[in-house]
Amino acid sequence: MATKIQGQRAGPPAGSWRKLNEGMPVEVAGLRSRLREVQSFIQEAKAAGEDRFGVLARQEVESSRYRKSFAIAVDGWWVSKGLLGGQKRHQVQLGYLPEWIAHQCQRPHVAPPEPVVFVELDTALSDEGFVDVDVLVRVNQALARPTETSAARIAKTARQQCMPGLKVLARVAMAKGYDDEVALFARMADYVNTRSSRLGLHPELDVVGQIVEAAVGLAPTDEAVLAATRLIAEDDQGLEELFRFALDLSRAGGKESEAAIAVLKRVLEMARQCRARSS
């Protein structure tokens, strides 16, 4: 039986806050690896009742090979009655903010005394083995919007940095015969957000859409893909990032495409040749 809870939006602490993702909910990442904790939170929050549950964000201190620089954990909390009639607070980790959102919460200078990121629960759903938690994210206005001039510079740089990888993804999609344009758009947008955020760029959603729109319709030749590879051959993290997205795309639908893998092998060989020449 499905269990669903709706967050109570009390709003952030006093101060000036900016909504991320244009005020739309963001899905918490990594829920499947904490399925039991997420299910427990949803069930206990449902039983706790209004104003007795919620979510909060905290910066992770430790890093791992999968979270290289900056991660913001999302915890769920609820209050229950203790054995002697008192109140007992419980807190479990649910997952993380997506990487592209977390990077927008980084502090550019010295941290202000108040929290720099604030999350509120939008909805959470548990239905047998399926769970979903959506949150609303705000950052302190210490992270002000870029000026119009810097926004244009960010858009231009993001396009230059992401287009080579997008050409590779477009070629992989062609080789696989992947014709779901909506799903391909979403995959490419995720790649643009991830790469841009790692490079310290935070393009607006419409800019990301424009970049991806230009790439979805591409039909790059092998020569164009190899030329694009030369532009990112020296970027270790960039190649790892690209191959992660490209391999996921090659395996879309549950079956790995040999033709798509062949494209990636050529890309990898070109990257190796470029590195050998520069060493």
Q: Average pLDDT, whole number, for the chain?
A: 84
Of 88, 92, 108, 91, residue with least CA distance to 31: 92
The mean per-residue pLDDT over the stretch 110-126 comes to 74
* pLDDT: which is higher, 200 or 279: 200
What is the C-alpha to C-alpha distance for residues 197 and 235, in angstroms, rounded to an integer? Answer: 15
What is the number of residues in the chain? Answer: 279
**pLDDT tens column, 53-103:** 999 998 775 444 333 445 889 999 999 876 666 788 899 999 999 877 887
Query: Residue 196 pLDDT more than 80?
Result: yes
Taking the chain, what is the end-to-end CA distance rounded to the nearest angstrom? 60
Q: What pLDDT score does 65 carry?
A: 38
* pLDDT: which is higher, 202 or 138: 138
**pLDDT tens column, 11-41:** 888 878 888 888 899 999 989 889 999 999 9
**pLDDT tens column, 219-250:** 888 888 888 888 888 888 888 899 999 999 99
Q: What pLDDT score does 153 carry?
A: 85
Q: What pLDDT score does 172 carry?
A: 92
The mean per-residue pLDDT over the stretch 208-219 comes to 86
Q: Which residues contact 117 (CB under 8 A, 6 or more apart)?
A: 57, 72, 97, 105, 137, 138, 139, 140
| Distance (Å) of CA 242 to CA 56, 166, 184, 276 | 31, 9, 14, 20
Phi, psi (deg, nearest 5) at residue 55: -130, 160
Provide the pLDDT confidence category of residue 173 given band limits of 50, 70 and 90: very high
Q: What pLDDT score does 147 carry?
A: 58
pTM (predicted TM-score): 0.53
